[in-house]
Chain A
Amino acid sequence: MSTLSDPPAESFRLSQLINDKRYRSITFQFIALLGLIVVMAYLGWNLVQNLAAAGLNLSYGFLGEPAGYDINQTLIEYTSQSSHLRAAVVGVLNTLLVAVVGCFLATVIGVVVGVLRLSKNWLVRKLMAVYVEIFRNVPVLIWILIIMAVFVAVLPQPRDFRGDNPEASMLWEAFAFTGRGFYSPRPFFTAEWAAGGTGWLIVIALLVAGFFGARALANWATKTQEATGVRPTTWYYTLAIWFGPLIIALIAMGLSWEMPELKGFNFRGGIFMRNSLIALTFALAIYTAAFIAENVRAGILAVSKGQTEAAASLGLRPNRIMNLVVLPQALRVIIPPLISQYLNLTKNSSLAIAVGYMDLTGTLGGITLNQTGRAIECVLLLMLFYLTISLGISAIMNVYNNAVKLKER
């Protein structure tokens, strides 16, 4: 807007706003903006007026009231007496869990498939093409339902593990794969001072320390290599830095395992991964991976063949050509569409209710909306959340994109 005040005042006439090329575009943009504001204001006013006419009012007071319903998977403490707000937070965390695990899995599968689609092996190439075409051309909701149905129908139910001569049995007496989900042993600490969260904080701290220790060691090795031309062998030091303190700490804290056990209707104890979580995450991951694979393939093809040939003439093996020459350059093409795939996966996770997974759409946008009848408030909150999370993912990925993109100096 500074251009408006820059020219000398005496030479400015009102007609210039239309006739002068310098101002015309600004004038039109201003009018368009004004129009947009008027339309928004009308819709907003309409909303308030009509709500009042129907005897309803916009209020978020219900968020503080007890929710009254139970949620099966809760990452934080929650009972039916907790507030609707807490139920919404439980939903947010469940959504984020699916999104994070799903994005990670989709990236791994997508990159592998994308690279294999360019394989010289005819069979591998065609198999990957079939995978991509099948998965990206069938709606993700169908995949979620299919995977859940297969899961429930094929795997044995807990009741099949019962009796003297059961139809199904646990793997090494520690893992149980049932139609309701997977049960595995849960580690916990027997030492009193490490009980609760303290033990896990120590473990995380040691892992972080191990990461920085290993990096320092690698830096030292690189420096030595640059100085002497010989890279010292460090892998056993690295292993020791990573795992030495960790193992000592785990023994000191008395690491023990809680085994899942068949009690009553279900297995009890251990870690329980629900069928809904697994089916949803897996379906979203393989569906999105098909798109990511195409992005990766496009990215690799975008790197000129001369690069590969130049690297080959330097004597690099195909593996190293891919990792050191092609992929780093391909990343510049891959990252921007990858961001939108991550966003898609996160938003698609709102299909969770199809398999009974309680994500945000299931808690705030589902049961809370229904029990309180506050549809508009809940939907506005839902949109705000998905908007925030999507912009957050975009921001993080853009930072990464700026780090890998071609630096113009």
Chain B
Amino acid sequence: MNKSVFLGALTVAGLAAGAAAAGTLDDVKARGKLNCGVVTGLVGFGAPDANGEWQGFDVAVCRAVAAAVLGDPTAVEFVPTTAKTRFTALASGEIDMLARNTTWTFSRDVDLKFEFVGINYYDGQGFMVPKELGVSSAKELDGATICIQTGTTTELNLADFFRKNNISYEPVPIETNAEAQPLYLEGACDVYTTDASGLAATRAAFENPGDHVVLPEIISKEPLGPLVRHGDNDWGDVVRWTLNALIAAEEYGVTSANLEEMSAGTDNPEINRLLGSEGTLGEMLGLSADWAKQAIAAGGNYGELFEKTIGENTPVGLARGLNAQWTDGGLLYAPPFR
């Protein structure tokens, strides 16, 4: 028992070191680098490319924050986390923020003491099956063997869905997406379930994506977004408004192509305040006046990032759907910059 108390204390000593240091923004500036938690590898959302550079939709959020705070989108130390290790990494201060398709839930926000700063992708849990099984609905999956990524909300949704429909299944818990792929492809499980976006990304990496279908049922709400530690509101604001800046930029038509021109000043005061030619929004955040401009310059506005990483012209091939601007019938709605 002596040993366990000792190790437990060590764990918490690390945890406390992070919690005690409240000024994450100052830490990041002093360090000159942003420590950002990402997935271990999910095509389109966060994965190293052939040159070892991290690319993807979630990765872009990290880069935007680094650009806003430090003026350099490459000043990011990417820390790959699994579904299991991500919260400990954030709570212990190992990472400054987590941008790793993480579902915003009540207990994570309230009980685990995290702060979800917004939603960068509206998702839901779906099922993927091989076409040859001839399954057209999730309700036909009675008795199926299902691969699930463990440590996620998906295993709870799955249990609820099958209980509600009074059908049985055999869960096969898998640690990471990469381990699940061969099991699914070899037929050790009939079905692979995770967020629909994750399924699309996984399918894109298959040799023959056409042999697999994603079933129409979406069995849960999975609002995915970046999160920070609870209690450090200044830092939370920085990440929240960087994300909002990316979304607002798309709404106002600010793109990486016309960014320079727009930042010189426009007729629209909202754009001027966003890009720093009017007002003192950057100062209020404790950043430079052109913070939002830097964030947008890192990879483009929300729409550009989407099209570049997971949009319809990429192998992942996701439609905007719920993730369109509110003006286009989607759910993206950035609060006003004023």
Contacts and interface: CB of A to CB of B under 8 A. Distances in A.
Given A180-B188, A265-B144, A266-B144, A54 B113 contact: yes
B214 interface: no
Contacts of B10: 43
Contacts of A187: none
Nearest to A39: B6
Contacts of B13: 43, 46-47, 50
Interface string B91-106: 1000000000000000
A47 B8 contact: yes
Contacts, number: 148
Contacts of B186: 152-153, 157, 179
A179 B190 CA distance: 12
Nearest to A80: B159
Interface string B1-41: 11111111111110110011000000000000000000000
Contacts of B331: none
A369 B17 CA distance: 21
Contacts of B152: 370
A373 interface: yes
Nearest to A376: B8
A353 interface: yes
Given A47-B9, A376-B12, A68 B87 contact: no
A232 interface: no
A264 B142 contact: yes
Contacts of B111: 373
A66 to B, nearest CB: 10
Interface stretch (B72-80, B172-180, B196-204): B172-180
Contacts of A219: none
Given A43-B9, A50-B15, A54-B16, A353 B173 contact: yes
Contacts of B19: 50, 53-54
B3 A383 contact: yes
A152 B187 CA distance: 8
Contact of A384 (B1, B6, B88, B159): B1
A71 B87 CA distance: 23
A366 B84 contact: yes
Interface in A324-354: 353-354
A149 interface: yes
A177 interface: no
Contacts of B4: 380, 383-384, 387
A265 B146 CA distance: 11
A366 B145 contact: no
B151 interface: yes
A356 B87 CA distance: 21
A301 B9 CA distance: 46
B285 to A, nearest CB: 25
B6 A40 contact: yes
Interface in B92-148: 107-108, 111-113, 132-133, 141-145
B263 to A, nearest CB: 41
Contact-size category for B: 35 or more
Contact of B145 (A56, A81, A263, A265): A265
Nearest to A51: B12
Given A72-B171, A179-B186, A375 B11 contact: yes
Nearest to A154: B186
Contacts of A180: 145, 188
Contact of A367 (B12, B133, B163, B173): B173
A39 to B, nearest CB: 8
B188 A373 contact: no
Contacts of A373: 87, 107-108, 111-112
B116 to A, nearest CB: 14
B113 A55 contact: yes
Q: Which of B91, B111, B144, B187 has the most CB of A within 10 A?
A: B187
B169 interface: yes
A81 B151 CA distance: 18
Given A69-B156, A370-B150, A370-B151, A379 B8 contact: yes
A70 B9 contact: no
Q: Which of A70, A159, A362 has the most CB of B within 10 A?
A: A70
B150 A362 contact: yes
B173 A266 contact: no
A68 B16 CA distance: 30
A263 B163 CA distance: 20
A353 B11 contact: no
A54 B6 CA distance: 19
A275 interface: yes
A44 interface: yes
A186 interface: no
A123 B169 CA distance: 49
Contacts of A384: 1, 4
A179 to B, nearest CB: 5
A371 interface: yes
A358 interface: yes
B318 interface: no
Contacts of B250: none
Given A50-B19, A353-B150, A264 B163 contact: no
A93 to B, nearest CB: 17
A231 B6 CA distance: 62
A320 interface: no
17 contacts: A43-B6, A47-B8, A70-B155, A152-B182, A157-B186, A179-B188, A263-B143, A265-B143, A353-B150, A358-B173, A362-B173, A366-B150, A367-B150, A373-B87, A373-B111, A375-B88, A376-B11
Interface of A: 40, 43-44, 46-47, 49-51, 53-56, 68-72, 79-81, 149, 152-153, 157, 159, 179-180, 263-266, 268, 275-276, 353-354, 356, 358, 362, 366-367, 369-371, 373, 375-376, 379-380, 383-384, 387
Task: List 4 A-B pairs, minimum CB-CB distance, nearest first.
Answer: A50-B16, A43-B9, A157-B187, A80-B159
